[in-house]
Amino acid sequence: MDANNNARHVDYRPMRWEDLDAVAACFDRVWPQREGIAGTPLAPLIARYLTLHYLEASTSSDLAETDDGVFAGITLARVAGAPTLFAQAHDELERVRALIAADPRGAAVVTMFEDGFFVRERILEEDADVDETTQAELELFMVSPDARGIGVGGALWRRLLARLRADGVRAFFLHTDSSCDYGFYDHKGLTRAAERIAADHPEDAGLAEGLNTDDQFIYRADLADTALAGAVDPNEGAEVRGA
């Protein structure tokens, strides 16, 4: 851990629309695109598209930034029945999607997500009965690589649980996959409600490049379990990349 990093102060506030660039830029670093797209102009567009995919449905946010105004991390959540954060997110998502789809490589990525990954997520939701048993979803949980080691992940997690409880949420769920630090959720006591292991589905390999690379999981959290908000070692939060 960097001693200077450890001494930095972190503030927490709701996301503003003008934070979108910083959040998407961090997304591109945390989940870089595959070889052939990483480092090209398509990569930040795809990161923005995915950020907007989560943001479009979100009804609450918690953004962490250092005292010098540098983005440090974020949670985005959706509570059923609550108004979304940004009405303009849908139109911006469509604009970015069109830019990506204009490039054949980008069009293949969009197809991979919209006809594959996102469809599977919905199937997992049905398998886990989350529509009937939860009132909220954690859409995005991400910590900047530059902010690891100062407790941002742990603080965002505790603040998320407190905010959902204050909103009357009894249980929530989240999607994650093997590109994420999903062991964090096992450690925090969440229940793995559904899973799809890529190796069990070789038939998917020919659908689109990269489609069969990640295992997918749904975790469920019961907010009546007070242990969910237990003490977090600052170093533990530093290792969380996202959900």
Indicate the pTM of the whole model: 0.87
Query: What pLDDT, on the 0 to 100 scale, is given for residue 7?
Result: 57
Q: Which residues are CB-neighbours of 18 under 8 A, at least 6 positions away?
A: none
Environment class of residue 26 by beta-carbon count within 10 Å: exposed (0-12), middle (13-18) or buried (19+)? buried
- C-alpha span between 14 and 62 (Å, rounded): 5
User: Do the domain assignments include residue 167?
Assistant: yes
- What one-character-per-residue DSSP string does 183-196 give? HHHHHTT-EEEEEE
Query: What pLDDT, on the 0 to 100 scale, is given for residue 238?
Result: 36
Each residue of 42-59: pLDDT tens digit?
Answer: 999 999 999 999 999 999
User: Do the domain assignments include residue 71?
Assistant: yes
Which residue has 């630090």 as its token pair?
181
Structure tokens at 43: 């990569």
Return the CATH number at 84.
Answer: 3.40.630.30
Enclosing domain of residue 168: 10-231
Query: What pLDDT, on the 0 to 100 scale, is given for residue 234?
Result: 41
User: Do the domain assignments include residue 241?
Assistant: no
User: Do the domain assignments include residue 240?
Assistant: no
Residue type, 150: I
User: Do the domain assignments include residue 42?
Assistant: yes
User: Do the domain assignments include residue 29?
Assistant: yes
User: Do the domain assignments include residue 186?
Assistant: yes
Query: What pLDDT, on the 0 to 100 scale, is given for residue 233?
Result: 46
Low-confidence ranges of the chain (pLDDT < 50): 1-3, 231-242
Query: What pLDDT, on the 0 to 100 scale, is given for residue 183?
Result: 85
Q: Domain count of the chain? A: 1
CA atoms within 13 A on the CB side of 45: 19
- C-alpha span between 209 and 181 (Å, rounded): 23
User: Do the domain assignments include residue 3?
Assistant: no
